[in-house]
Structure 1
Amino acid sequence: MITKSIKGIGKAVGVMLLIIFGVQHVEAQQFFSYSQYMNNLTPLNSAYSLIDKNGTLNALLRKQWTGIEGSPSTFIFNGNLPIESINGAAGLIVMNDQFAVEHLTEINGFFAKGIQLGNNQFLGVSLNAGIRRYVANYSSLDAVDPQFRNDVRENKPNIGFGILYYSDHYYVGVSLPELSIRDLGNASTQRADFFRNHFNFAGAYLFGKEGDDVRAKPAVLATYTKGVPFIADMSTTLYFKSILGIGVNYRTNNEMSGIISISSDIIKLGYSYQFGTSATNLGGRLSNATHEVTLSYRFGQNTMSRSIL
């Protein structure tokens, strides 16, 4: 019994220390943030699914502060099918975020429609709807201590939208993928920033022509959330023969990433390594390793026509 209590106390202390050391980082990061947004923006703005006229399946696994038990991890899956007759697309987004004893899962279906405005210029709009589930297993820390006795379970419906203006060489858009449609109960006092509205502003430009040996794609993603510091990501990727991509990403909360990707007409594999650039960053003090792996699969009649935008 004593040994069990000591283990429970030790686990609780460990989680508390993780939160204390990481609180500055966690408050600064945005919900479901990831480094390789320039290669798959759909989880943040589902209108992006209109750019590729094929069906796609994408999976992302992100692990922060590796080597620390309970450190944040994120899994994102999204897939979509084109609806060519109306220049549309429909799909599904599944996201799971875990930090210590807290879990947040979200499932959304979406529909996107593109409207041609000019020669190779389109305006895409999208709507998504689904459900979010928040779980905090505080009793797993110490079921006896009244401070950790009450777990939190919260289900919440969700709705969102995205707008994207795009062509073969660029896109610019705004989205609100998680619009709260009712006030929360207990969960709002536990991790309120998980349930706040997140406004995403994104843009990218692809330099060069198809068939060029080297092409460059700068991209930016900025996220605004009430009560959370404004965060902007800026990246530049060089594509060699449209097969090998090498890029660098800088985030205004003092984080950088190196990114590499390998693409074929059907499969794309990407990897990024993120590290803190400030001594006050958790990654700078305890671990420099935040790993992110992505895998994409394209299928359909137009797989030979591939855009790296």
Structure 2
Amino acid sequence: MNRIKAYRDIQMAGFWGRGVTSAVCSLMFVLLSLSGRAQQDPMYTQYMNNILSINPAYASLGTSLEVMVISRNQWIGIDGAPITQALSAQYPMRNFDTGIGLSFLSDEIGPVHQTGVYFDYSRKLRVGYRSYVSLGLKAGVNFYSTDYSILEYNDSGDPLLGDDVIRKFLPNFGVGTFFYNERLFLGLSAPKLLRNQITDVGYSSQFASKEEIHLFLISGYVFDINRDVKFKPYTLVKYVGSAPISVDLSAHFLFYDRLWLGANWRIGDAVGATLQAFVTKQFKVGYAYDVTATDLNSFNRGTHEVFLSFAFNLGRRRFMSPRYF
């Protein structure tokens, strides 16, 4: 069961909302956000601009301090649909062979809310002419909480609702690697390696909730169409044990090193369009809109995602603009 399938099943069964079999809603929410059969980490359409959140090896890329903010409102029109905000910063050290990063996350889906803060360290090694392999470590903590007060349910004594998760701190760590040159990139990461126990109702192990290990594989290439136009196809594959593999396929065109236009297809889930522009050499803005490609499309008005980033030159001669990845 993943986030999308859980919502679709609730909608199609007529269970969504307040006051109608909300015990089922609560169970579905807990399972989709916390169980071992769910993809627990948030998804993004503009994931190329938030690689640090899934791969700590990315922290050493670039030549300047960069700060990124992204806000995603998923499935507009559905009460309790996912709302995600993320902020990250990465800073390559003076010799450019190492880098540090910092990531904040706020993700809310129904009565379940998680807030996370993670630190990243990365070091890159030259493996060829303008080719590098970067290795990274991630460490931090997630704070999980649930608030069943927003739901109304028929059976107040339901044991599934009696083991609320309140102020649960879940420390974790992860690893990643990232190969790249001027045009090609390939990354593999597992940002969370500990399967932290979140909650267990005590009478059936099938309802035990854990943080599951997520594997992310990202790759892409930048082609020159002509002097003014570049083409970048790329993909993101996400794997969680006992959950369906998620595949994102994307293609973007860069015009005059200032404007990105492209499309995204999350197989079996959604299709979307993205526009990103360099307002200045250092300031970049982006917007993405997704349309659900499942039965859930009848119940929502799409997904909106806004992105902002700023690169601080700090007087360095090697300031790079634009960044292709």
TM-score bucket (shorter structure): 0.7 to 0.9
| Structure 1 contact 266–303 (Cα < 8 Å) conserved | no
What's the secondary structure of 2:268's corresponding residue?
A: coil
Task: Summarize the Cα distance change of 1:42–1:15 in structure 2 as closer, same or farther, 3 Å threshold.
Answer: farther
Task: Give matches, 1:126-141, under 5 Å.
Answer: 126-141=136-151
Aligned twin of 1:307: 323
Which residue of 198, 202, 208 maps to 2:218?
202
For each residue in 1:244-276, what CA deviation from the matched residue of structure 2 results, as whole angstroms up to 9, or x when unmatched? 110100111231110000113111111100112
For each residue in 1:180-199, what CA deviation from the matched residue of structure 2 results, as whole angstroms up to 9, or x when unmatched? 15444439976847x11000
Q: CA deviation at 1:243?
A: 0.7
Aligned twin of 2:243: 228
What's the secondary structure of 2:233's corresponding residue?
A: strand
Aligned twin of 1:238: 253
Which residue of 150, 157, 174 maps to 1:146?
157
Q: CA deviation at 1:30?
A: 5.5
What's the secondary structure of 1:152's corresponding residue?
A: coil
Q: Distance in 1 between matches of 2:31 and 2:149?
A: 25
What's the secondary structure of 2:20's corresponding residue?
A: helix
Unaligned runs of 5+ in 2: 1-16
Which residue of 81, 99, 105 maps to 2:115?
105
Q: Distance in 2 between matches of 1:12 and 1:58?
A: 39
What's the secondary structure of 1:180's corresponding residue?
A: coil
What's the secondary structure of 2:236's corresponding residue?
A: strand
Task: Give matches, 1:1-309, under 5 Å.
Answer: 11-13=18-20, 31-85=41-95, 87-141=97-151, 145-147=156-158, 148-153=161-166, 154-180=168-194, 182-186=196-200, 192=209, 195-208=211-224, 212-263=227-278, 264-278=280-294, 280=295, 282=296, 284-300=297-313, 301=316, 302-303=318-319, 305-309=321-325
| Structure 1 contact 28–231 (Cα < 8 Å) conserved | no
| Structure 1 contact 152–186 (Cα < 8 Å) conserved | no
TM, length-normalised to structure 2: 0.82
Q: CA deviation at 1:76?
A: 1.1
Equivalent AA in structure 2 for residue 156 of structure 1: L
Unaligned runs of 5+ in 1: 1-9
Q: Distance in 2 between matches of 1:192 and 1:253?
A: 26
| Structure 1 contact 15–70 (Cα < 8 Å) conserved | no
For each residue in 1:70-105, what CA deviation from the matched residue of structure 2 results, as whole angstroms up to 9, or x when unmatched? 111111111011113251110101111111110012
Q: CA deviation at 1:106?
A: 1.4
Which runs of structure 1 show a deviation greater than 4 angstroms over 4 or more consecutive aligned residues? 14-30, 187-191
For each residue in 1:160-216, what CA deviation from the matched residue of structure 2 results, as whole angstroms up to 9, or x when unmatched? 0110011111110100001115444439976847x110000000101128x931101
What's the secondary structure of 1:42's corresponding residue?
A: helix
Task: Summarize the Cα distance change of 1:102–1:208 in structure 2 as closer, same or farther, 3 Å threshold.
Answer: same
Task: Summarize the Cα distance change of 1:190–1:257 in structure 2 as closer, same or farther, 3 Å threshold.
Answer: farther
- Percentage of matched positions with identical amino acids: 27
TM, length-normalised to structure 1: 0.86
Q: CA deviation at 1:277?
A: 2.2
Q: Distance in 2 between matches of 1:20 and 1:217?
A: 41
Q: Distance in 2 between matches of 1:243 and 1:12?
A: 50
What's the secondary structure of 1:52's corresponding residue?
A: coil
| Structure 2 contact 185–220 (Cα < 8 Å) conserved | yes
Q: Distance in 1 between matches of 2:275 and 2:208?
A: 33
Aligned twin of 1:7: none
